[in-house]
Each structure stands twice: as C-alpha cells, then as structure tokens.
C-alpha cells in the first residue's frame, strides 16, 4: 500500500513546529506514524510583553527553523550529509530572493541545507493561515525554499483545519490513526485568535455556523489573567488559580447565551471582570481565585450551551473540540457531562493536551486531506483565512 510522507511546518503564532509523519489508508481511518514531532515555544520571549509581539515572533521563527529542521530530520532518521551541492549564482540568488525578508534564515539555509541529502518525503506542508502574517510568511518562505531545493510539492494548510482534525488522532493497536465516522460533527474551535462553531458534514466539508464578534475566548483568558496579575499565556494560569476559587461569590454576565444564532462575544465579559477588580481595589489571593473561577464558569457556560444547541439543531453525532482552550479541564468536563446527560449518544473528541495548543502534527494531519498547490512560488500568507 502507498505510504505518504509529509514534512509539516507551523509558524502562525508563537510556536515554531516541524513534524514528519508517514500516512497510509483512506478515511474513515488513516494511519499516522509520527516519525518526528518538535515544537519550540516562544512563550518566555513574549511574557515580558504580556502577549505575542508579531515582529519578535517572526524573528524567532527565522532564527530557529533551520536548527529545528535538522533536529527533526535527525529524529526521523533522515539526516544524511552529502557533498553534492554547492549553490552558486544564479541559483543562490533565487534562494536569496525567496528569503529576502529573512536574511538570518537565508544565511542558515545556505550554510546547512545544501549539505544534506534530500530526505525521503513526498510533500512539504506549511500553515498558510490564519495567523500573524509576519510569522506565517517565515514558514511559507522556508517551505518554498525547501520545496525548490528538494523538488517537492507544497501543501498549504489552514491552521484551524489542523485544530479541528487533531482531536481525531487516536491511539490504535498499531500506532495512531485519524479515525472518525460520526458525521455530522460540530466542531468547537477555541484558541487565542478564534472562537468558532463549525459544522462538519463529512471529511473536508466545513461550514462556520458561528464565531466571536469581538475577542476570542483564549484572548479573554489572556486579558483577564493580566487583570489578575498573572503571566502570559493566561489560560493555564486562570485554570490553575480557579481551582481554589469559590463558586457564586461574583456574578458575571454570559454574553449572547440566549441569542438565536451561534455567535459569541467575550469582550464584555472581560470588561466586567476588569470593573469588578477595580471596585475591589488590591485583590487578595482569595478574591483572585474567586474571580478567575467566576470568569471560567461564565466562559465555559456560553461555549457549552451554544455547542449543545448546535448539536440539537444539526442532529450531530459527534462534537470535536480543538484549539488551545480545549486544554481547559472545566470546558472538557462540563461538555462531557452535558453530552452524557442527553439521551442519545454523541461522541466527544478532545485532543491530548500536547495536541490542543499549536503544533506541526496537526498541520501534517490536515495536509493529508489537502491538495498540493500547483504554484508554490506564488503562495502568500492568509492572515484571515476562513474555513470552508
């Protein structure tokens, strides 16, 4: 049977990630053998700014991609030195043009890549969007340069499709597989930049039925964390201190809970926390914990209620939760409980925590379901790329 090997690159935000997978089979069950999977987080760099600083993110991606690729090829047993290449002009100039905005990356590329053998891969996948455009461009240009030197096709991947498919990766007897047949599925995508409900009727069929009108839920977690004096990223911090909180001490709004659509709004909830905190003055640890819990409960309530309503309306057979906020224990447990209380069976797919936040394995998975571009030279970052 035909194996396909994909090398995937992710640089849409503050994680630089590269993975290599070998896939086999067809939906509803595709075997995924992970040959290598590496993620470098920039969290410590962005912490000082209380959020992701795009130009810093870009610089870090450019600085770390080549060493990360070398490590990933080594992990996969694919790193072989060759004496074959010396890149001279005019070819050198072509790579210089592709990487013209990333001189440091070009320098590393031209020093290292020509000296290694073309690895036994079939395609190079790269996140095309959505995300921070300066950050996306670094990965895209790197993928273009690799595709040119290795003569491989490029598969442009939607980052949110990665978040939506990652939860379907499951352990099997023989390793891991992306397996699912419970369609229609309702996808709840919750990350730092997105809050969306997606109707997935079948493989590759996506329709966004609702989205946030202002802040993403992860963004709200991050902003509330800042109000409470907690470091970036705020999601895990809020969840941690909320464990010591007392329920019912503070009352917060549940924005758009009863609106007839599937849209969300989290800006007002964040502002409500800000005003409460101001009124309280200097916060004690107990007050912080109680506020964190009140916020987490309000956010989770809205997410779960709207997801359940979508399940009813579309008669969904499964719910798929993806994106960084899917790591949140209260969200996972509340959703599990709510689905259990329904009479009919609805499957719940939630990623392992390492697959919740940004990674390149999910990009490889989505790439398997995506066609290569026939014109990678003209591939552009799509910061606001919508699914479907």
Distance CA 80, CA 77 (A): 8
- The count of residues interacting with Zn ion (CB under 5 A) is 2
241 near ligand KG4, rule: CB under 6 A: no
| Residue 257 C-alpha from the chain's centroid | 26
239 near ligand KG4, rule: CB under 6 A: yes
User: What is the residue-wise DSSP string for 249-314?
Assistant: SS----TTTT-SSS-B--HHHHHHHHHHHHHH-SPPHHHHHHHHHHHHHHHHHHHHHHHHHHHHHT
Helix-, strand-, coil-residue percentages of the chain, each rounded to 5? 45, 20, 35
Question: Quick one: which H or E segment has residue 2?
Answer: none
* Near ligand KG4 by CB under 6 A: residue from 32, 106, 142, 221: 221
139 near ligand KG4, rule: CB under 6 A: no
* Near Zn ion by CB under 5 A: residue from 289, 358, 363, 387: 358
162 near ligand KG4, rule: CB under 6 A: no
Minimum CB separation of residue 324 from ligand KG4 in Å reads 2
Closer CB to ligand KG4, 99 or 239, in the complex: 239
Distance CA 69, CA 124 (A): 12
196 near ligand KG4, rule: CB under 6 A: no
- The count of residues interacting with ligand KG4 (CB under 6 A) is 19
Report the site for Zn ion in 251-310 (rule: CB under 5 A).
Answer: none
Minimum CB separation of residue 269 from ligand KG4 in Å reads 14
Closer CB to Zn ion, 191 or 318, in the complex: 191
Minimum CB separation of residue 189 from Zn ion in Å reads 9
Q: What is the dihedral of CA 19, 22, 26, 29, to 10 degrees?
A: -70
* Near ligand KG4 by CB under 6 A: residue from 54, 236, 383, 388: 236
- The 3-state DSSP class for residue 197 equals strand
Site map (CB under 5 A) of Zn ion, residues 304-343, x = contact: ----------------------------------------
Q: What is the largest CA-CA distance in the chain?
A: 69
Closer CB to ligand KG4, 196 or 222, in the complex: 222
273 near ligand KG4, rule: CB under 6 A: no
Question: Which is nearest to 264 in space by CA: 320, 209, 214, 328?
Answer: 214
Q: 355 contacts which partner out of Zn ion, ligand KG4, none, CB within 5 to 8 A by kind?
A: none
Q: 151 vs 8, 123, 192, CA distance in Å?
A: 16, 9, 35
Q: 184 contacts which partner out of Zn ion, ligand KG4, none, CB within 5 to 8 A by kind?
A: none
Q: Please, what is the Cα angle at 157 between 373 and 23, to 5 degrees? A: 90
Distance CA 209, CA 195 (A): 11
Minimum CB separation of residue 274 from Zn ion in Å reads 25
Minimum CB separation of residue 9 from Zn ion in Å reads 14
234 near ligand KG4, rule: CB under 6 A: yes
383 near ligand KG4, rule: CB under 6 A: no
Closer CB to ligand KG4, 167 or 218, in the complex: 218
| Strand-pair category, 29-41 with 123-129 | unpaired
13 near ligand KG4, rule: CB under 6 A: yes
- The 3-state DSSP class for residue 358 equals coil
Minimum CB separation of residue 216 from Zn ion in Å reads 10
Site map (CB under 5 A) of Zn ion, residues 162-201, x = contact: -----------------------------x----------
β partners of residue 29: 26, 179
Environment class of 239 (CB within 10 Å of its CB; exposed 0-12, middle 13-18, buried 19+): buried
Binding site for ligand KG4 (CB under 6 A): 13, 191-193, 218, 221-222, 233-236, 239, 323-325, 327-328, 357-358
């Amino acid at each position: 049977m035909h194996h396909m090997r994909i090398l995937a690159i992710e640089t849409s935000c503050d994680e630089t990630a590269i993975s290599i997978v070998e896939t086999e089979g067809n939906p509803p069950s595709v075997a995924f053998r992970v040959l290598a999977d590496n993620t470098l987080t920039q969290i410590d760099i962005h912490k000082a700014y209380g959020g992701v600083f795009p130009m810093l993110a870009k610089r870090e991606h450019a600085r770390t991609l080549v060493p990360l690729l070398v490590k990933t090829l080594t992990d996969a047993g694919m790193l072989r030195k060759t004496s074959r290449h010396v890149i001279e002009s005019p070819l050198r100039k072509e790579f210089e043009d592709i990487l013209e905005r990333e001189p440091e990356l070009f320098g590393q590329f031209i020093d290292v890549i020509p000296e290694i053998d073309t690895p036994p891969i079939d395609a190079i996948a790269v996140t095309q969007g959505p995300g921070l455009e300066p950050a996306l461009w670094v990965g895209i240009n790197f993928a273009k340069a690799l595709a040119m030197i290795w003569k491989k096709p490029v598969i442009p991947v939607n980052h949110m499709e990665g978040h939506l498919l990652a939860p379907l990766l499951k352990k099997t007897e023989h390793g891991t597989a992306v397996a699912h047949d419970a369609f229609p599925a309702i996808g709840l995508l919750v990350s730092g930049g997105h809050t969306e409900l997606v109707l997935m009727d079948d493989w590759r069929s996506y329709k966004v039925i609702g989205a946030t009108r202002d802040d993403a839920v992860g963004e709200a977690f991050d902003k509330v964390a800042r109000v409470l004096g907690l470091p970036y990223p705020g999601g895990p911090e809020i969840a941690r201190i909320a464990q010591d909180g007392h329920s019912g001490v503070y009352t917060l709004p549940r924005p758009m809970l009863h609106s007839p659509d599937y849209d969300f709004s989290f800006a007002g909830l964040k502002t409500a926390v800000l005003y409460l905190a101001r009124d309280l003055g200097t916060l004690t640890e107990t007050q912080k914990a109680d506020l964190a819990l009140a916020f987490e409960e309000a956010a989770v309530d809205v997410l779960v209620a709207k997801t359940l309503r979508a399940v009813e309306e579309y008669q969904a057979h499964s719910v798929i939760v993806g994106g960084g906020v899917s790591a949140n224990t209260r969200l996972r447990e509340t959703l599990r409980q709510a689905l259990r209380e329904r009479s009919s069976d609805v499957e719940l797919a939630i990623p392992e925590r390492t697959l919740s936040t940004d990674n390149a394995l999910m990009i490889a998975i989505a790439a398997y379901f995506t066609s290569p571009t026939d014109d990678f030279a003209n591939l552009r970052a799509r910061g606001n790329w919508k699914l479907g």
